[in-house]
Amino acid sequence: MKKEPLSKADRWERTHETLRLTAARLLRTRGLRLPSVADVMKGAKLTVGGFYGHWESKEALFEEALRDALRNNWSELVQESRGETAKERLTWILRRYLSRSHRDNPEAGCPLPATLSDISVLGAPYQKAFAEEVESLAAELGEVAGPIGGKQLALGLFALMVGGLSLARATEGTPLSDAILTASRALAYAALDRAEQKASEKDES
């Protein structure tokens, strides 16, 4: 039985999604400044002329792609985290994020190591999008950390995780890279231990 041909609206939606996913893949590995509209269209196997039927500018596409990449990466981490306590779930998230596998596969991971310096240089609208998404992600991570530290602990862990992964990727291929991942995890675990102890002491007082 022959499949019904896609409607014009369905074709547009499919192309729109393909372009967004292609941009997200590019920004994870090349940042926000280097990829061009031509790079996106080539990656999607489409002609450049079709781009402006979907977005007004490269910036509009990459802002949306940045938001999507951040949400998908961090929401997946939080939703898949395992453990019965806040500390166990946060430990799972830390171990997954600050791993060799995550370091070695940027095209499928967190976009921040490749985009942070670009965001600070390019300014609005990327900074606005970034700040809004970090607030949302910190709140989501803060819900996990709630019993032992809430949003403050979540923001600290977030900064440590992104900084550790960024340095590990920047030194990939050297012994220092693995050492950075190990040190970052150890520092984060120590912070969790302190937070849990403080929460326990507060409950007992």
Query: Would you kindly state where each structural domain of the chain is located, as residue ranges?
Result: 66-204
Query: Taking the domain 66-204, which CATH number applies?
Result: 1.10.357.10
Instruction: Return phi, psi of residue 8, to 5°.
Output: -60, -40
Cβ proximity of 157 and 94 under 8 Å: yes
Model confidence pTM above 0.85: yes
- Residue 109 DSSP symbol: S
- pLDDT one-digit tens code per residue, 96-121: 999 999 999 999 899 999 999 999 89
- Look at residue 124 in the predicted model and tell me its pLDDT: 84
Residue 5 confidence class, pLDDT cut points 50, 70, 90? confident
Asked if pLDDT for residue 90 goes beyond 90, the answer is yes
Residue of 194, 174, 161, 160 lying closest to 87 (CA atoms): 194
DSSP SS3 for 106: helix
Instruction: Return phi, psi of residue 149, to 5°.
Output: 175, -20
